[in-house]
């Protein structure tokens, strides 16, 4: 239960640990012929949901980071070409002013 709640406020790693421990406890109880408590079932489910949300958010974040790098590469290449054109334009302007 505590690990699932901590998963909300941390990076979600504790939710993975809570999911693992809860599932392991549930299997041990079933192996001994005991019925898992509803609390155990609920908090294992909460840990699982938080873990899945963490995976989805991490995947979306990774896509945004990759997209940002691609965009910076495209704009950076275009920016270099424009700065070269501006430099050439300034050079030709200064040469024409010097000749006048």
* pLDDT: which is higher, 56 or 97: 56
pLDDT digits (tens, 9 = 90+) for 10-65: 766 777 787 888 888 888 888 888 877 788 788 788 888 888 888 888 889 889 99
Q: Give kind and range of the element (H or E) at residue 19.
A: helix 13-31
Global pTM reads: 0.58
Report the C-alpha gap between 85 and 53 in whole angstroms.
Answer: 48
For residue 45, give its domain range. Answer: 2-99
- Residue among 65, 26, 59 at smallest CA distance from 43: 26
Give the pLDDT of residue 87. 52
Residue 97 has pLDDT above 70, yes or no: no
Residues 82-96, mean pLDDT to the nearest whole number: 53
What count of residues does the chain have? 100
Read off the tokens for 35.
Answer: 């019925």
- Number of independent structural domains in the chain: 1
Match 């005991």 to its residue by tokens: 34
Residue 2 reports pLDDT greater than 60: yes
pLDDT at residue 93 in the model: 47
């Amino acid at each position: 239960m505590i690990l699932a709640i901590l998963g909300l406020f941390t990076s979600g790693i504790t939710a993975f640990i809570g999911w693992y421990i809860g599932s392991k406890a549930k299997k041990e109880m079933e192996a001994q012929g005991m019925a898992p408590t509803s609390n155990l079932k609920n908090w294992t489910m909460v840990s699982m949901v938080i873990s899945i949300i963490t995976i989805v958010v991490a995947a979306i974040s990774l896509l945004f980071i990759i997209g940002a790098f691609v965009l910076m590469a495209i704009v950076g290449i275009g920016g270099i070409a424009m700065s070269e054109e501006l430099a050439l334009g300034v050079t030709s302007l200064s040469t024409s002013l010097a000749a006048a």
